[in-house]
Structure 1
Amino acid sequence: MSKRTRYLVGLSGGVDSSVAAARLLEAGHEVVGVYLKAWEGWEDRGQRTEDNPNRLSFTGQCPWKDDIADGRRVAAHLGIPYEVIEVHEAYRARVVDVMLAEYAAGRTPNPDILCNREMKFGLLLDLARELGFDGVATGHYAQVRPSFTSQESAQSANTPEVVPARPSKVKGHMSKVELHRGRDERKDQSYFLWNIDRRALSMIEFPLGDSTKVQVREEARRRSLPTAEKKDSQGICFLGPVDLRQFLIDQLQLVPGEVVDTAGRSIGTHRGAAAYTVGQREGLRVEGVGSRGEIRPRYVVARELESNRLIVDTQPPTSRELVATHLNWLVDDLPKVGERIEARIRHGQQPQRCTVEETTRQPDRQTTKSGGLAPGMSGSLHLRFREPQVAIAPGQSVVFSRGSLILGGGIIAEPVAGG
C-alpha cells in the first residue's frame, strides 16, 4: 500500500469494505468511514412527485437502514469515526436520471459504472480532497499499481500475483498508476471501473485487490468483524435488490405492447419495450412451444420503441464486431489499428480476444496545452472478436485490456451487422 496516512473509506456495511478499513487501520493509516445515503422516503414507497422530486418509486427492499447500522457497528469495533452523508440529489441527477434517459432512448446503461464514476470516485473523492484526506478506499476487487515502461507493464499485466508498492507522492503529485484486474477472477470488479477519471487513480486504494473472497471472509472472522457472516449485496449500486423492470415501468410510465417473431407474427405481450434489453429472454409473455411440443425460449433481438414492439427469435443475436463510443482511456499506450487486445462486454465474462479494426479520436476537455490529444479523450473504436459474441447490447460497456491491465473502455454504440 501507499505511504499516505489519511483515508476516507466507503464503509457500506458489508464484509468487503469492513476488511478494507481494518487493513488500512492495521497498516498504520488514519481511517474515517463514510456511508453515502442515496435515497430518502423509501419507506413510503412514494412515486416521484412535484413536491418531492427526490422520491422515486421503489419496488424492492432498500437495505440502507441495516447497512448504516452495520457500518456503525464495524466502526465502533475498529474504533474509527463514521459519518453518513446525504447524497440523494446528486445520485438522482448523476446516476438515476441518466440511467432513465438512456433506457428511454433504447439503450441499456450500467448504473453501477455510472455510480462509480459519479459518486464513489467522483463526489466522495471531491469530498476527500476538500477535507484534506490523502485518498479514498473501498472494498472493490481490483488493483491500482504503479505504471512502468511498455515492456515492464506488459510483463506486470501477466503476473497478477505480483503487487508492487504504490509510488510515494512527489511535491503533491503521484507518479502514474494503472488499473488492473483483481486477483480473484470470480469477484473481479474492474469492469465497473473503466469510466472513472484517470487522474483519480492516484488517490484510490483497493486493499482487497490481491485477495480472494474466501480469504477476505476468513479474515473478517479472525478479526471478529460484525459483518463477517453478512451476505454479499445484490442489485443496483446504493439501492440493493431492485425490481429494475418495474422501476423502469413506473418511472418511464411504460405501457404493455406486442411481441412479434422475426416473421412479423404476433406471439405475445411485454410490459414496456424500453424495459427490455437485447438478448433478454426473461419476462416475456410469449408462445414458446416448438413443433414437437417442447418449450422453446425466445430472445429479444430488436426493440421498436416508437411502435412499442419487441422482436424475438428462438436464438439470441450474435455478432463478431462492435463499435464503441464515449471512450475513456486509463493508459498512455493506446491500442492501435491491427493490434490484438482483449475485451469484455459484460461483468463476469472472461476477456475475449479481439482485433482493433478502426479508431477515431475526437478532442474534448482533456486536450494537452499544445492542442494535441490526451489519453482520456472521446472518440470511437471498432473491434472484431475472434469468436462470435452473444447479445451485444447498445448502451452497455465494453472494457479493453492487455492481460490484467485495464486500458479503458467505451459505450457500445451498436453491434456490426454481419460481423
Structure 2
Amino acid sequence: MYKQDIEGSIAHAMMLAKQGIISKEDAEQITAALKEILNEVENGTVVFDEQAEDIHMNIETILTERIGEAGKRLHTGRSRNDQVALDIRMYVKEEIIKIKMEILNLISTLNNISKEHKNTIMPGYTHLQRAQPVSLSHHLLAYVEMFKRDIDRLCDTYKRTDVMPLGSGALAATTYPLDRDFTASVLGFKNITLNSMDGVSDRDFLLDLLSALSIHMMHLSRFCEEIILWASHEFKFIELSDAYSTGSSIMPQKKNPDMAELIRGKTGRVYGSLFALLTVMKGLPLSYNKDMQEDKESVFDAIDTVKMVLPVFTNMLLTAKFIKENMYKAAGGGFTNATDAADWLVKNGVAFRDAHEIIGKLVITCINKNKSLEELTLEEYREISPVFNESVYEAISLKACVNARTVPGGPSEEYITKLIEINDEYLKNIKNCNDGLQL
C-alpha cells in the first residue's frame, strides 16, 4: 500500500501546514520528497529495509534520510493505527471500482449474448429435472440479475469504506488542532469517522467487502457448475474453446472444462478469507490490536482472486459455442410443455386439478409409447380426454410455450427484448461518482 501511504502522508502534511502545526516550507519539502519516493518505488529503484518493520516506517525512514528534520515532523498528530486504517480504506476504494468495472463488463457480455438467443429454446430445471421450456437468453439473464445485485453490494461497501479515519491517533485523537475535513476532502473521502476508538479499530468495511466478494464468487461458481454440466456428453449444450479447456493426460477423447472448475474451486478460497477475518475480529476488545494486521493477507488475496477470475470467466463465455439443436431436443424430450398442456385444458373449461390428472395420464402414455406430447395423435389425446382438439398442438409447441409467458419476469421473446433494453440502459447510465460507479 505504498501509493496510498504516500498520498495520505502528502494530504496530512498539507493539512499540518494549513493549520500552522508545521511550516509551509517543511510541508513543501515533505511533499516534493514523497512524490519523488513514489516515482522511485514505481520504477523499482527504491530498496526497502525489512528492519523498518512495515511500509509506513520504510517510507518515513527514507524521507527523513533525504530531507532531515522536516521529515521527522510528518508524523505529528497521527499514529500508525490511524495511518494504516486510512491506507487500507484508500486501497479498498480503488479496488472496488476496478472489480465493479469487471463485473459490468461481464453483464454487458451476457446481455449481448442474450440478444442472439432470444429464440434459442432450452429446458429450464428444478431439482436438476427438466421442468419447463425457457430461452437461453432467459437463463443467462438470470445471472445478470445476480451480478447487478453484486454491484449493489459493492456500492454499499464503498459507501461504508468512504469514511476517513486519519486524525483518530492511536485511539484518543490528538491535542493538535487538526482539520480532518480538509484532509478528507484532499483524499476524496465523503465523510470522517466520528469516534476515534472506532476509527482505528473498525474493520467492518473489510468484512462487508469479503462478504460481497464471497457472494459474487458463489454466483460465478453456480454458473460454472452449469457450464460444467452443459459441456458434458450427457448435456452437450455448450462447447468451450480450447483456450478454456484441456485434454486428458490419458484419455484422448476428453475435453475438460478446467477453467470453470478452477473458478468454482477459487470460490472456497474467497470464502476462507471471509471466515479468517471474522475469526480474527470476533474476540478483539477496543481499540487497536495487532491481530488486525491479519486483515491484509485475507483482503489482498480475495481481491486478487476475484480480479483474476472475472476476465477469464467473461472470455470463456465469449468464446463458447452454444449447441442450439441439443438444447431444443432436450426441452422437447422431458415433457417440459406438460404444464402448458394442462393450461390449455383449463382454458377450455377443465378444472386445474382435473387437468393436472389428465396430463399425468398423457405423460404415462407417452412414456409407454416412447413418444413426446407433440408426437401423440389427436386420437390418443382424446382417449384420455374428449376435450382435446387440434389447437392443443399449437399450445404445446415449445416456442409457443415460451412466448406465451409474457408476464414481466417471464421467458417470452417480447419480455426478454424489454429486459435486454433495461440492461442496456443500466449499463449506459452507470457512472463514476463519489460513491464509486453507482447509479
Larger helix percent: 2
Taking structure 1 as the reference length, the TM-score comes to: 0.26
Larger strand percent: 1
Taking structure 2 as the reference length, the TM-score comes to: 0.25
